[in-house]
A and B are shown apart, each in its own frame.
Chain A
């Protein structure tokens, strides 16, 4: 009981209370003001860009993350442990460092000759970088536990490698994959640090919601959180919660019968 009490209290102080404060602030001027704040052309454009970029990132991450997890679990190659450790790098380094790396790589003196600063593709690249570990680290342990003999059984029954992946492996890693996708998406929609130096922050063009919120705060001389900043934050929060919940429900449906 003590554990439950401490846990609830901690969760309340650290998570729920701040969220409640922002939610209250967002409704300072009533629901009309909230709606106006999130439907300004700049806010709508920023949200659209944020969602599309995050969706692309989540889908690309699903494919590449599964592939990387597969290689790390099933293949043997020199330097495997190093590569495995490298996966966590985007978690470990400050996101502003990621932004600087991208600025160096794709800026005006790009060693690659690629000038992507203040374009939409650089946002996707930055988000791909910071969300890399989510799908890999979700899928990897499930793949390690997967019953290889079930795959061999499918092969003896005539299933091609593609069929084995589609009908045996994918359903097995499905719940973990969905959870990885959800985490990557949720992280991507709120990402700020890795895009701040590279996306140019051009309203209605390359400005994502997190930067729009930052812009609202800066325009307020006394640094007070206004309805515009709070309302757009709440929208991001709601989207993240809904996506995570929906994927969790989908995952638990899929894994109903996996327990041995």
Chain B
């Protein structure tokens, strides 16, 4: 089993748990804000971006979150120069780059499906940007080795992309993007093609790398959990427009409208109000304005217990409670209980 192709120099698919290597290599790329103003983009009749304004602060990790077709990738590609907007401006680090091609924007871009150069080994993939810049070979070599150390691919220099797992390919792509010391790092659903476990490891690792290097990073995702987990700011997009911009806590706890509320997590409707299932409080007696409901099903999901309920009008809703609380209430199917919200609900009829 000493075949050099199948042995794993380091830890296989898992991302390294610690950031090793000299991250100061990319740290000086830190402080560049992105300012997008009045961006519009049409594809034929389809309005992909509608008057998008967004400021991405220096050194932040911002997630563009939205369903497919919401324009989040188009926005990211417009920042990169891979799409030319019909109207509006893109400013990176104080420089208007709207009409500057991607080659001269000093960005790092990572694609969902890795976009590996399949005919080049890992060393040549990562060294591609520096080699375009005509840096001396020995310098490129040194830099590539250090970057591979940082992304946990030390020892993989001679491998080809076809000999790497998905997680490894994406870390190679990240090293390749960082090799040009980009002003900003743009990631288009970077973990979208990976297994759940690898995805979680890699995003935790990305969070640490970003915190350590301080490079302004924009990440596109349709996964609200990923956005809440990894980003320090979230822009929620829908139908080509930004619905809300804020910290993960702000968008989750004080959603600007029904769309943001429903997109960021599960909801239940109680008395015509949208609430989070974990904000519903069950009781055996009627307290305050609690609503009478019937228990339809009790589902034990480890620590959580989901209680499916039906009100007197036949409307279904579920409440999320803890194992301890469920045991205390001793719920049975068909039992009549009362439910109220422990958190100010979000009015359904609020202006969007």
Seen from chain A, the residues whose Cβ lies within 8 Å of a Cβ on chain B are 147, 149-150, 152-160, 163, 167-168, 171-172, 254-255, 257-260
Instruction: Say whether B116 contacts A150, CB under 8 Å.
Output: yes
Given contacts A149-B111, A155-B82, 8 further A-B contacts (CB under 8 A): A152-B111, A156-B80, A156-B82, A156-B102, A159-B103, A167-B128, A172-B118, A260-B118
Tally of B interface residues using CB under 8 Å: 32
Q: Which of B108-123 contact A (CB under 8 A)?
A: 108-109, 111, 113, 115-119, 121
Pairwise interchain contact B132-A260, C-beta atoms closer than 8 A? no
B219 sits at the interface (CB 8 A): no
**Cα–Cα distance between A254 and B160 once the two chains are bound (Å):** 13
User: Which A residues lie within 8 Å of B128 (CB)?
Assistant: 154, 157, 159, 167
Most buried by B among A154, A158, A172, A260: A158
Bound-state CA distance A171–B179 (Å) is: 22
With the chains together, A149 CA to B190 CA distance in Å? Answer: 13
Q: Which residues of B contact A (CB under 8 A)?
A: 80-82, 101-105, 107-109, 111, 113, 115-119, 121, 128-129, 132-133, 160-163, 173, 176-177, 179-180
- Complex A-B, nearest 9 residue pairs according to Cβ-Cβ distance, in ascending order: A157-B129, A257-B160, A149-B115, A153-B115, A156-B109, A171-B119, A158-B132, A149-B111, A150-B115
In the bound complex, CA of A171 to CA of B129 (Å) = 17
Q: How many A-B residue pairs have CB under 8 A?
A: 76
Provide the bound-state CA to CA distance between A260 and B109, in Å.
Answer: 22
Question: With A152-B82, A257-B160 known to touch, is A157 a contact of B132 (CB < 8 Å)?
Answer: yes
Is A254 a contact of B162 with CB atoms below 8 Å?
no
Contacts of B115 in A (CB 8 A): 147, 149-150, 152-153
B327 vs chain A, min Cβ distance (A): 51
B119 and chain A: residue at smallest CB distance:
A171
Question: Closest chain A residue to B133 by CB distance?
Answer: A158
Flag if B117 contacts A155 (CB, 8 Å).
no
Bound together, the chains give a CA A53 to CA B177 distance in angstroms of 47
Residues in B with CB closer than 8 Å to A155 are: 82, 101-103
Alpha-carbon distance between A152 and B105 when the two chains are bound, in angstroms? 13
Give Cα A152 to B81, complex, Å.
10
Assembled-state Cα–Cα distance A257/B163 (Å) = 9
Residue of A nearest to B80 (CB): A156
Does B108 contact A254, Cβ atoms closer than 8 Å? no
Alpha-carbon distance between A70 and B100 when the two chains are bound, in angstroms: 25
B160 with A156: CB separation less than 8 A: no
Q: Are A258 and B162 in contact (CB under 8 A)?
A: yes
In the assembled complex, the Cα of A132 lies from the Cα of B173 at a distance in Å of: 39
In angstroms, how far is the closest chain B Cβ from the Cβ of A260? 5
Residue pair B162, A150 in contact (C-beta under 8 Å):
no
How many angstroms between the C-alpha atoms of A258 and B177 in the bound complex?
Answer: 21
Q: In the assembled complex, which residues on chain B have CB atoms less than 8 Å from the CB atom of A260?
A: 118, 162
> Cβ of B118 and Cβ of A150 under 8 Å apart?
yes
- Report whether B160 and A158 are in contact in the complex, using a CB–CB cutoff of 8 Å: no
With A152-B82, A153-B115, A258-B118 as known contacts, state yes or no: A159 contacts B162, CB within 8 Å.
Answer: no
Docked pose: A153 CA to B82 CA in angstroms: 10
User: Residue among B82, B121, B133 with the most chain A CB within 10 A?
Assistant: B82
- Across the two chains, which residue of chain B brings its CB closest to A254? B119
Contacts of A149 in B (CB 8 A): 111, 113, 115
Q: How far is the CB of B56 from chain A (nearest CB, A)?
A: 17
A159: nearest residue on chain B (CB-CB)?
B132
Separation of A156 and B108 alpha carbons in the complex (Å): 7
CA distance in complex: A257, B119 (Å): 6
The answer to whether B119 and A153 touch across the interface, beta carbons within 8 angstroms, is: no
Distance in angstroms between the alpha carbons of A257 and B162 in the assembled complex: 7
Query: Whole-angstrom distance between the alpha carbons of A155 and B176 in the complex?
Result: 12
Chain A residue numbers with a CB within 8 Å of B177 are 156-157
Residues B103 and A160 in contact, CB atoms below 8 Å apart:
yes
Interface centre among B117, B119, B177 (most CB of A within 10 A): B119
A contact residues around B180 at 8 Å (CB): 157-158
Shortest Cβ distance from residue A156 to the other chain B in the assembled complex, whole angstroms: 4
24 A-B residue pairs with Cβ-Cβ distance under 8 Å, sorted by A, are A149-B115, A150-B115, A150-B116, A150-B118, A152-B115, A153-B173, A155-B102, A156-B109, A157-B128, A157-B129, A157-B177, A157-B179, A158-B103, A158-B104, A158-B129, A159-B128, A163-B132, A167-B117, A167-B128, A171-B119, A172-B118, A258-B118, A259-B162, A260-B162
